[in-house]
Amino acid sequence: MTNANNYDLVLTGGRVFDPGRGVDSVSDIAISGGRIARVAAAVDTSNATRTVDVSGKLVTPGLIDLHTHVAGGLGKVADEGSFLAADLAGVNSGVTTVVDAGSTGSYNVGGMINHVVPESKTRVIVFINTGVLGIHKNPEIRDESDIDVEHSIATVQASEHIRGVKVRMVSPSVQSMGIELARKAKAISSGAGVPLMVHIGDIPEDHPKAAAAAPALLTDVLTAGDIVTHTCSHHVGALLDNGKLRPEAQTARDNGVRFDVGVGRANFSFDSARAVMDQGLIPDTISSDVTVGGRLELVHGQIESMNKFLALGLSLEDVVKMSTANSAESLGLSDSLGAIEEGREADLSVLEIVTGNWIYRDPTGGTGTGEKALVPVFAVRAGEIQPLDYGPRPWGWLPESAD
């Protein structure tokens, strides 16, 4: 008989907040062998190895950032480009799972699988790029010669860590290939049996083909479980057509297509977010699209991205669900991620709600303001408390104050 009180770690007195399951109550969480052993109003801590008082803090399922670039260390010597160390986007920022969205492709994803995934404390899930070298080669696709459908299918099938395919509907590939670019990407994802994540919105505003491809992309190419990222983009070929939500976006949603945010340094504006949401499309998931540069300006990470949606008027329940249960659903991992439940691996995020006069900025000069901001306290990954980074701003984790 095991002694049920021999817990490795007990978090006591936190506000356990799991909106995916309708849970919001002050409870203790006991962890044993990396798993959640017990969630109860009062857990017996007399034999616990470690007890941490988290009274006044929010304890959520481990946050999931569905769109990051964490191929740090795999690029050129002395030039990491955009790629961040996974733990900086992940556990050191209070986030337990990150998805690398196409930093590598089928020819170089081995670096992710053999190094980044096993050497990171953060759970790293990989979506391979449709371009064989990913965005280590930028632009990753100029024409069809940068795509290898058969090799990419075999690569996805060779690793349990690869759970999706990414394509960016941007120039120059969208100019040379048009909708065929999306069809090639879909051939890989459907051949491998994983979702396709599509970056919508092309930055050069004088390039018409991204816009021309958007309706067919949404209604003819994407199917249930596929993911549109940059839902709140102000660029051409995204969901807004002269300020109006493309009707095909609702058709796609009716077909089971998922909508992700992917803030990024260039693919989110407050005006576009308001327009998209006012016309009835609330994204399914919040993600950051964090990179080395983005971490220090505008993006800052998953929790800052959640704060932007609090500023847009969504509730705390909404933004946590859009970063936990909904994200797990987009990954097809609802059975293991995105919920607090006895028996599951203990991935948790401990957060604090800080009141202030917070202001958030976008690349168009637009702003959003809010009174409540989330900041990370620490993450628990597979039962272990992880250290928190100093934070992306000179003063740490708090957003910018408008005062």
Between residue 78 and residue 137, which ones bind Zn ion under the rule CB under 5 A? 101
- For Zn ion, give the closer residue by CB, 52 or 101: 101
Determine the 3-state secondary structure of 123 from DSSP: strand
Between residue 282 and residue 311, which ones bind Zn ion under the rule CB under 5 A? 289
199: Cβ contacts below 8 Å, ≥ 6 apart: 166, 167, 168, 169, 170, 229, 230, 262, 267
Q: Give 355's strand partners.
A: 372
Give the count of beta carbons closer than 10 Å to the beta carbon of residue 317.
Answer: 14
Q: Which residue is nearest to Zn ion (CB)?
A: 289
- For Zn ion, give the closer residue by CB, 106 or 386: 106
Q: Which two tokens stand for residue 249?
A: 């976006």
- For Zn ion, give the closer residue by CB, 65 or 289: 289
Q: Classify residue 117 as exposed, middle or buried by CB count within 10 Å of its CB (0-12, 13-18, 19+).
A: buried
Q: How far is the CB of 243 from Zn ion (least distance, A)?
A: 24
The CA-atom distances, in angstroms, between 173 and each of 152, 162, 182 are 18, 24, 10
Of 369, 332, 85, nearest in space to 224 by CA: 332
Is the CB of residue 100 less than 8 Å from the CB of residue 116?
Answer: yes
Q: How far is the CB of 103 from Zn ion (least distance, A)?
A: 8
- For Zn ion, give the closer residue by CB, 101 or 348: 101
Q: How far is the CB of 317 from Zn ion (least distance, A)?
A: 27
CA distance 81 to 264: 15
- For Zn ion, give the closer residue by CB, 260 or 347: 260
Of 370, 249, 290, 361, nearest in space to 94 by CA: 290
Q: How far is the CB of 303 from Zn ion (least distance, A)?
A: 18
Q: How far is the CB of 82 from Zn ion (least distance, A)?
A: 9
- For Zn ion, give the closer residue by CB, 123 or 230: 230
Q: How far is the CB of 101 from Zn ion (least distance, A)?
A: 5
- For Zn ion, give the closer residue by CB, 103 or 386: 103
Q: How far is the CB of 139 from Zn ion (least distance, A)?
A: 13
Of 286, 314, 376, nearest in space to 67 by CA: 286
Q: Which two tokens stand for residue 346?
A: 């203990």
- Is the alpha carbon torsion for 67, 328, 284, 223 positive or negative? positive
CA distance 148 to 268: 31
Q: Classify residue 224 as exposed, middle or buried by CB count within 10 Å of its CB (0-12, 13-18, 19+).
A: exposed
Q: Give 76's strand partners.
A: 79
Interaction between residue 260 and Zn ion (CB under 5 A): no
DSSP assignment of 221-253 equals I--TT-EEE-TT--SBTSSEETTEEPHHHHHHH
- For Zn ion, give the closer residue by CB, 146 or 289: 289
Of 266, 276, 262, nearest in space to 66 by CA: 262
Binding residues for Zn ion, rule CB under 5 A, total 2
Q: Give 196's strand partners.
A: 165
Q: How far is the CB of 67 from Zn ion (least distance, A)?
A: 6
Q: How far is the CB of 289 from Zn ion (least distance, A)?
A: 4
- For Zn ion, give the closer residue by CB, 58 or 101: 101
Between residue 333 and residue 352, which ones bind Zn ion under the rule CB under 5 A? none
Determine the 3-state secondary structure of 82 from DSSP: coil
Q: How far is the CB of 135 from Zn ion (least distance, A)?
A: 8
- For Zn ion, give the closer residue by CB, 58 or 98: 98
Chain residues in the site for Zn ion (CB under 5 A):
101, 289
